[in-house]
Amino acid sequence: MKTAARMLVASLILCASPAVHAEPLGSDEPVSASIASSVATAVASSTAAASAVAKTLQTGLASYYARGFEGMRTASGEIFRHASNIAAHPTWPLGTLARVTHVATGRYVDVRIMDRGPFGASRRKGVVIDLSQSTARELGMIRSGIAKVKVEVLEWGKH
């Protein structure tokens, strides 16, 4: 679908541009090829920008860790403490700072990614982040156990 949209945009731009058959000075490339190259570059950079936004912003469901994980080591090597504003994300670098916003209430909490997850059935159901109990409480999702959230990167971690 994206490829078809890019080709449509490129062909519309080429069709809308005036037909010029002269060749630019100092170049063996016809002007139409030069325009096509410019269009391709613009489409590629806008696709890269869209990809970067997608990597820094996710929407989906959030769940939270049970207290049974208290005191266990996380993927970062740190000890899990349910009273900290921490979270698990499957792919973002450990140490990343992220803002988690409860879509229904607008409440948000800044968390540090220090573990990996969610996995398995939770992930297949659309859970994009696991939160500490403290974070879940601040977002107002303790009773429901799950909430629709927007997660955005504030600062990338180094791990």
Parse the chain into domains and list their residue ranges: 57-155
Give residue for tokens 């792919």. Answer: 91
Range with lowest mean pLDDT among 19-23, 30-34, 118-122, 147-151: 19-23
Q: 3-state DSSP call for residue 81?
A: coil
* Cα gap 99→57, rounded to integer Å: 10
Q: Would you say residue 13 has pLDDT above 80? A: no
Q: Is the peptide bond prior to 118 cis by the omega test (within 30 degrees of 0)?
A: yes
CB-side neighbour CA atoms (13 Å) of 75: 18
Q: For the chain, what percent of residues have pLDDT higher than 90?
A: 61
Check residue 33 and give its pLDDT: 54
* Cα gap 88→104, rounded to integer Å: 22
Q: 3-state DSSP call for residue 120?
A: helix
Q: In CATH, what number does 57-155 get?
A: 2.40.40.10
Nearest to 23 by CA among 15, 14, 33, 10: 33
